[in-house]
Structure 1
Amino acid sequence: MLDLTAHFAKFRAAAPERINLAAHSHHDWPDVTFAAQAECWLDAARLAGDKWNLVFGVLIPRVQAGIARQLHLPDPSTIAVGPNTHEFLRRLLSCFTANRPTRILTSDAEFHTARRQLERLEEDGLVAVARISAEPFDTFTERFHAACAKGEHDLVFVSQVFFTSSATSGNLRTLVEAVPSQDTFIVIDGYHGFMARPTDLSAIAGRIFYLAGGYKYAMAGEGCCFMHCPPAYGPRPRDTGWFADFGALAGPNGKSVGYPEHGGRFLGATFDPSGLYRLAAVLDWLALEHITVEQIHLHARALMKRFLDGLDVMQIEGLRISDLVTPFGTKAEHGNFLTFRTPRAAEIEEKLASVHLHCDHRGDRLRFGFGICTNARDVDQALARVARAIAG
């Protein structure tokens, strides 16, 4: 178990009464991001419009290198950056032919970014979506891979870790192997996996798209999302912004709109670069401190076990081990948060908020997240507050 809370002094001091167990949603930011935010402002003051030379020439390559290091990507230039993952989803969808519905395979547990967008496109007959139930989790991989093997899809889109449960969708390499057509786009939503679970894309970097961002486990806040773009897939998305023109190649014969071959082909338009400053600072800080994702994941698992052991003694309806959506144990594959299924989810969240213990719920699912902004002492205090607010 780690204790890195001293590196989060500013966030913790701003709300000293708060214990943040909503770290699957909004992590505390380490102090290095405060200096990075100021650096962004000072660069704008010093350079004005010339700051974009610094953003594209220094900052983005720095972020790309940090992300590539975490994901074991062979070429950092395959990474495109943007303010949110929805922009990337739109551009991916714009890569497909417009003369028939795009055939998509996904799960029924995707985040609202994909769920809402795909449902809306279905209404107009622009996509045809097959959804595989995420539950039961112990058979999801088998069922999803069997659906992939039919080879009927233009796009396979699935979360690395499901936001509704913390369950994983299985080994990414075997997923790639289950898709028979090399023309099928394979897209992994890594938002709950990036910086939470050790992820090595080196063997499949030429075959999958991987999108994630800094809002959650990368501890960098909003506005700093990214997508790894395998070469040759989606060379000319119709949804394109002027930033994709930087370094663009000449357009193909008969075409006037050129695209670069690297990840920049999926860039959009002008955005606030401050999130990239924060993300670069976090990635550099982790490297300097020799903190790995393996350590982060083991730390989160240790805190989760400590929390569950404490709850087990209390036997609170809705917070029992038997109420967990995804089992927890040495052999359980899951993300860095716990999800309980209970009709009391909203009630429990409200009671815990009244004692400054923060979690969140989605319908009947109550979620508690853990990261390196939290230590064992925080968990012990959280358990005491649970006892005071609910058990007592």
Structure 2
Amino acid sequence: MVAENQAVSGARKDLFSRALAAAPGRLHMAAHSHHLWPDATLAAQVQAWEDAAVLADHKWDKAMGHVYPAAQALVARELALPSPDSVVFAPNTHTLLAVLTSAIDRRPVRVLSTDGEFHSFRRQARRWVEAGEITLTLVESDGPDFAERFLAAARGGDFDLIFVSHVFFKSGLVFDRVWELAELARPQGPWVVVDGYHGFRAVPTDLAAVADRLFYIAGGYKYAMAGEGAAFLHAPPGFGPRPVLTGWYAEFGDLEGPPGGVGYARDASRFMGATFDPSGLYRFVAAGRMLEAEGLTTSAIAAHARGLQRTLLDRVAAGAAGPLKDATVLNPPSEAPQARFLALRHPSAQAWKQALAALGVVVDVRDDVLRIGLSIYHDEGDLEAFCAACGALA
């Protein structure tokens, strides 16, 4: 096993041989957006199909009796949660967000957030405002004093829901003081929801001290390497016992509720929906177990990626990547917790992405920010190839 604070010795392309071989001319530099799937997930996907064929109706005995608890346990170990029973899965974070918000009794819900949240929250929040379901206060997420401004707004306001990212998807800003919001959280409100999608398995995260007060939402699509269909929510006990938006899976187990009324499970499954495709959980478990077996801790992979980030930025600054030297680096690597992607701001970011795509190089753009995501399947040879392709940009 690799020690928690030790970087891996090199890239592990062997664990991703199928994805890399599937498109040999592609240079995938967007591990923050769609992480390539490791080989272990193919066997898991096939196993899900075979279980459905062999077990038929009884496939749910395995999916819910074995695979689901294994996925919960992986999340609990990664986040240092007191119990895996506080973890509930859903096909996507939008579903979890809608169910969670429905559990707040007050209307309109008074919400505090930022102008830098991901689209699943941004779009839904704007529509809820239009419909009169919520009132929304936004704090600008740019600027070195963001943490102080947001914490001051949270402490000084009267909110039912506080929703904010741990790692911002566009800028790569790590809001490392987000856990201080736990001091405000109460079952009667406000509820604090931390969007951990760009932090889960990217930035070492220990929720042990705040798990009884904070919600945490993330999923398998990015750094968990499992693809879609495996979003999850950590739900602190006693917060939101009876969501209005509810599926029939939430009525299994130890129930509570009014006599003759709608009963809810006491654990996180109170937020469950209904029938879903379990194959995403099969992949989630396979990828998580692979990482554990190989000693690929979040700290180890982050250290590997940080080393590559520094090397790449040195080459960019030296002009080896052509016009990228003129971009502003929004999140230069440091010893502090670091996003697993580089964010480079430049008016030509969109044009660069398109030109690189024509060369078989996959990067990602958000407005005028070019994002370059590095992971355990990257090495210095990939950096050389990337810089060579960027050198051809106008």
| Alignment TM-score > 0.5, same fold | yes
The structural deviation recorded for 1:313 is 1.3
The answer on 1:390 being equivalent to 2:386 is no
The answer on 1:141 being equivalent to 2:147 is yes
The structure 2 residue matched to 1:12, chosen from 17, 20, 28, is 20
**SS, match of residue 390 in structure 1:** coil
Match of 1:117 in 2: 124
AA of the residue aligned to 1:312: A
AA of the residue aligned to 1:114: F
Match of 1:107 in 2: 114
Q: How does 1:148-187 map to 2 (within 5 A)?
A: 148-177=154-183, 183-187=189-193
Q: In 2, distance between residues paired with 1:318 and 1:168? A: 27
The answer on 1:267 being equivalent to 2:275 is no
Task: Render the CA deviation track for 1:122-177: whole Å, top value 9, x for unaligned.
Answer: 012210111000010x2111001001111410000001111111101222332323
Paired residues of 1:211 and 1:226 also in contact (CA < 8 A): yes
Q: In 1, distance between residues paired with 2:121 and 2:270? A: 21
The structural deviation recorded for 1:310 is 1.3
The structure 2 residue matched to 1:361, chosen from 365, 375, 378, is 365
Matched residue count = 386
The structural deviation recorded for 1:9 is 0.2
Q: How does 1:121-270 map to 2 (within 5 A)?
A: 121-136=128-143, 138-177=144-183, 183-253=189-259, 255-270=260-275
The structural deviation recorded for 1:369 is 0.6
Q: In 2, distance between residues paired with 1:194 and 1:321? A: 31
Alignment TM-score, normalising by the size of structure 2:
0.94
Alignment TM-score, normalising by the size of structure 1:
0.94
The structural deviation recorded for 1:251 is 2.8
Task: Render the CA deviation track for 1:298-350: whole Å, top value 9, x for unaligned.
Answer: 11111111111111111767623751123x13245431001111110111001
The structure 1 residue matched to 2:85, chosen from 64, 68, 77, is 77
Task: Render the CA deviation track for 1:183-218: whole Å, top value 9, x for unaligned.
Answer: 311101100000100000000000011110111111
Paired residues of 1:318 and 1:345 also in contact (CA < 8 A): no
Q: How does 1:25-40 map to 2 (within 5 A)?
A: 25-40=33-48
The answer on 1:297 being equivalent to 2:305 is no
Q: Unpaired runs of 5+ in structure 1?
A: none
Q: In 2, distance between residues paired with 1:373 and 1:257? A: 48
Match of 1:281 in 2: 286
Task: Render the CA deviation track for 1:81-102: whole Å, top value 9, x for unaligned.
Answer: 010000110011101125x310
Change (3 A) 1:39 1:78: same
The answer on 1:324 being equivalent to 2:329 is yes
The structural deviation recorded for 1:225 is 0.7
The answer on 1:380 being equivalent to 2:380 is no
Q: In 2, distance between residues paired with 1:49 and 1:178? A: 46
AA of the residue aligned to 1:232: G
Paired residues of 2:203 and 2:337 also in contact (CA < 8 A): no
Task: Render the CA deviation track for 1:335-387: whole Å, top value 9, x for unaligned.
Answer: 10011111101110011112211101121111111111222221222122222
Q: CA RMSD in A?
A: 1.7
Q: Which moved more, 1:209-218 or 1:165-174?
A: 165-174
Q: In 1, distance between residues paired with 2:157 and 2:208? A: 24
Q: Unpaired runs of 5+ in structure 2?
A: 1-7
Paired residues of 1:37 and 1:274 also in contact (CA < 8 A): yes
**SS, match of residue 47 in structure 2:** helix
AA of the residue aligned to 2:66: V
